[in-house]
Structure 1
């Protein structure tokens, strides 16, 4: 077979590592062209919640594809989008009254930033500065990269990125973060964007709900919009539907994607409080919120999201999440005592640990070695440098999860031998 013309994301083709062809997926398992069964321990980049090819979601996609496949959403609408919007407002905080559709986590963040800047511009008090937390990751479009950590992800594009104010990651009780945010808010920025409780691509860095609540309170007192990027942390990953729930926080703007469709289709939403919508409501067309894509609120993707919402209403999803969290903790306890393991941590269904490495960081030489060992063991894990994390679908069996934890123990022992 000739070389594939496909250019894979976040993949250095020059290293000559194999690219695995998957022909089928079901539940927490992937099946390769060679007939191997591989446990998907990262939910295929954190999107698959209930398992691959969930029958209810598959049937919803099949049915919708024969009715309306695509529709312009500027001044037109359809039942799947209306049902998803109403379903979201029914289960999310009532203060979040408006639902804006987009295509991915990155674009949901772009929408949030534009909503925040538009709010201030149309309120007659133009504010332009955005505050961010260091080590954050919010996506790969220009605005999303601008509010993320600067480094290997985006160094070539730095000339295009706008300046932001950076707040340090919480240490201990988070006093360092709160003090810095308090000082930065005195300059009247437009908004503060944060990944609640867990910084995903930054290395699964975790902080407490008390810090999240304190940050939101600082923003409230200073009139700074609080944007919660729950693209990864939402849909039960941290143990609750939203990570913000654990802090009693209702953001001004909320970003959701990934698990919105159960991981089956690309779809995102940005929810906003009513004053943000009202700042754009006008008889003046110049105040229109000028953002869209061709596939905004695609009916097939919305049908998948509608099925996902039904699963959350009608199936014991929260019980599955609690069970998975307990099993993850048991596995973490076993891994934490192994030689070379540092900073074992868990938040809800996510566990993470660092493998001792003097170099460390995202470009740690341990990452490709670990990935190869996991592949040989029939487990899909993708370390973030020397950080190994497990974030499986909620349907994963106890046996498969034990296999994942065993694969980590075995792989760490091998790489630490040199």
Structure 2
């Protein structure tokens, strides 16, 4: 029996309606930018398996370091204990984070990193004997699937059944370069009538919204407003972090730095699950007390797993190499050339790019999960490229090690699919 048939017996996949999509593709091997299935087919992984494997699958530099670490220390509880991989990771990461970041709290995935950021923002005010219960977030944002993260997300396709249970959140438009004053007026109105604890946002690129990009100057104005009203700013860099926007972090494009940053996905180069919520010294100090109850009572069994920390440290080392930085610049140039080439196609409504993130919107109406989207996905896979359209948006976020030949195949299959729409 094939793997894909055995899969059907017990497994329940994420973001899947199994009655409509009974088939899965069984991947047996991955290397570099290529996935291989049980039938011997090869696929260029043009989205780095949800933006994680940015240095390529089974990267030997990362895997060798983890193999060495697992001979010494595999796992130990991080409450009351520490270990060198976590310490070395903190020392390396602090050097590339925005300069106001100083403390790091471990968890295990992007949603929980945001959940912790939200809890930090709410408890910060609670610990200072100021009750603030409202959060702000951008329209169409996505921050994960746990309840706090869902609360600040704006995509009801994911959250519909749970909305009655959410935290109170006020949503604001994303800045587009011409709506700064309208947004600031909206913010003024919100703070007059609500006790706002924090603002949770994806800096510059909203991933699940279809790689929707917004204006840096406008975002900076929002962050400055939040600072003036002591609203804790929580940057969800789970998707944008570690080089994808052309800088190590999207927040580095902004003058006003966030109080809290949420990290995961490419943190470990896609090898092992792990997340971090980093914060400024000021945030940490609000929890530092003789009163035990003022501590942050949040913990995960595998927090700061030594193997995941080792993978993350190796990934950060790779990110800073000249080879990877050159590759990032090369991909950015290639995307720019492709964008110029395709933007006038009658089936293309618009294109956009930031760093190695490239997206185009199709000039057709289609559901986020519907027959046309499925048709596009099937076409891409049949032609050896793994792309996962977000409704009418096709985007590329390939590993930094992708070759020019592989990139050109990705571009070509996108151009080819336009002819069947």
Change beyond 3 A, Cα 1:345–1:314: closer
How big is the alpha-carbon RMSD for the aligned residues of Structure 1 and Structure 2? 1.5
1:9-408 aligned at under 5 Å gives the runs 9-16=14-21, 18-175=23-180, 176-186=182-192, 187-358=194-365, 360-408=366-414
1-structure distance, mates of 2:35, 2:369:
27
The C-alpha deviation readout for 1:194-253, integer Å capped at 9, x for no partner, is 100100001111112111211111111221111110000111111111111112231100
2-structure distance, mates of 1:195, 1:225:
14
1-structure distance, mates of 2:100, 2:376:
44
CA contact (8 A) 2:259 2:280 kept: yes
> 1:319: Cα distance to partner?
2.1
1-structure distance, mates of 2:29, 2:6:
22
CA contact (8 A) 1:49 1:393 kept: yes
> 1:361: Cα distance to partner?
4.4
Q: TM-score, normalised to structure 2's length? A: 0.95
1-structure distance, mates of 2:102, 2:21:
49
CA contact (8 A) 2:133 2:168 kept: no
Partner residue, 1:412: 418
**Structure 2: which 5+ runs fail to align?**
none
> 1:289: Cα distance to partner?
0.7
1-structure distance, mates of 2:191, 2:74:
45
CA contact (8 A) 2:134 2:167 kept: no
Bigger shift: residues 34-43 or 370-379 = 34-43
**Structure 1: which 5+ runs fail to align?**
none
Q: TM-score, normalised to structure 1's length? A: 0.96
Name the SS for the 2:95 alignment partner: helix
CA contact (8 A) 1:138 1:229 kept: yes
> 1:257: Cα distance to partner?
0.8
Name the SS for the 1:217 alignment partner: helix
The C-alpha deviation readout for 1:260-279, integer Å capped at 9, x for no partner, is 11121111111111111111
CA contact (8 A) 2:113 2:275 kept: yes
> 1:116: Cα distance to partner?
0.8
> 1:339: Cα distance to partner?
1.8
> 1:369: Cα distance to partner?
0.7
